[in-house]
Amino acid sequence: MQSLAAQLDTPTLKRFEPLDSLDDQQLLQLTRYAKMYRLQPGEELKLSLAESQSGKYIDYLISGDVELSDNHHRKLLNFQHPRATQALANNLPNYSSVLAHTSSAILRIEKQLLEASLHLHRDKVVECEELQVETDMHSMSQLLQNRCLLALPPENIETVMALMETVEFSNGEYVINQGERDNSYYTILNGRCRVTRRPHQRANEILLAELAAGASFGEEALIANMPRNANIQMITDGTLMRLEKKYFLRYVVEPLTNFVNYRLLIERLRKGAKLIDVRGADEYKRDGHGLHIPLPMLRLRLEKLSKGREYIFCCNDGKLSNTAAFIGMQQGFSTAVLKGGLEMVPPEYLRRGR
């Protein structure tokens, strides 16, 4: 199946408002995450009540004749009509159905992504005041202390910058609470935090680390889809940049994750790669493979490993090892993840790879 970028050329996309204000690279980036709905005559694309009222998505009529409808109104639209250069919602707000009268195509773009692209474009073409330029440069310099962002394609870095929010925290305020679920990845612009953890509910907090400007945190729980395993508390007033989980996974983690299947694992091990099992002690004792470094100990143990070889991380289902590989990559290591985890590997391959 062709990607949307291959199906839609730039002149087609630039027919639509406000896509016509974006450059070719930004249009390409948008189409990577857009959806195309192809409708046959009589086929209907329905929107849920939440989708209709929230305006989460922006739809464009690429081709054909359609009928938009809500509970009280109907409106016909041909893709060659001047009003078809605008989003469908501009023709009938809060429409809940698109009925195709001829073979038709609807392009759907996430509104927040489009707004981020437009914001980035305005930053490129509008001369900012000196203070704002200094603020943006400071934000960029702090973000680019994060090794994983430096490894991203330039368009992903731009997108991440545009999607990040600036949030202020006061001295003593908790950014993250152990045991809770939080959907954000953070980078410190200025100020300091401390990282603490309670081994059990009645225990005192143990100080694990202090973080300064340029440090990032929050990735482990997001990648593994687990509750937070530590507290992050401000020890000064500070400013943090916050990125939503879905954007962190899409624009940062996915492009940087290197997966290997069990056949490729054996080949890499023969060439000198090292397998690291990041499960707990009980699971490793039962059927462990390679070097054992439990995920909570990984940051401390990485200091003792050589950066001259590749490290392939494994666990039962791939979630913990995905987190481990990302942490290793942030520290400058060459990392990979055993795809699907040990559950997907035939026993005879594991015996060969020990």
CATH number of residue 56's parent domain:
2.60.120.10
CATH number at residue 284: 3.40.250.10
52-56, 189-193, 202-206: which range is least confident on average?
52-56
pLDDT of residue 174: 95
pLDDT of residue 120: 62
Q: Is residue 16 in a domain?
A: yes
123: its two tokens: 């930053």
262 and 315: one domain?
A: yes
Q: Order the strands of the 35-39 sheet from edge to edge.
A: 35-39, 104-110, 57-63
Q: 83 - beta bridge partners? A: none
Q: Is residue 122 in a domain?
A: no
pLDDT digits (tens, 9 = 90+) for 213-234: 888 888 888 988 889 989 999 9
pLDDT of residue 7: 63
Q: Is residue 265 in a domain?
A: yes
243 and 269: one domain?
A: no
Domain limits for position 18: 4-114
In the listed set 114, 149, 180, which residue is the last one of a domain according to the structure?
Answer: 114
Q: 146 pLDDT band (50/70/90 cuts)?
A: low
pLDDT of residue 133: 38
Number of domains in the chain: 3
Q: Is residue 226 in a domain?
A: yes
The separation between CA 55 and the C-alpha centre of its own chain, rounded to angstroms, equals 21
19 and 87: one domain?
A: yes
Span 18-30, average pLDDT = 81
**The total number of residues written for the chain in this structure:** 354
Strand pairing class (274-277; 291-292): parallel
Question: Is the model's pLDDT at 145 over the cut of 90?
Answer: no
For residues 40 and 280, what is the distance between their CA atoms, to the nearest angstrom?
A: 53
Burial tier of 19 (Cβ tally within 10 Å: 0-12, 13-18, 19+): buried
Q: Is residue 124 in a domain?
A: no
pLDDT of residue 348: 67
pLDDT of residue 200: 80
24 and 73: one domain?
A: yes
40-54, 166-180, 280-294, 309-323: which range is least confident on average?
40-54
* Residue whose token pair is 């330029």: 133
In the listed set 223, 253, 283, which residue is the last one of a domain according to the structure?
Answer: 253
| % of the chain beyond a pLDDT of 90 | 35
Q: Is residue 225 in a domain?
A: yes
> 106 — phi, psi (to 5°)?
-120, 125
Q: Is residue 327 in a domain?
A: yes
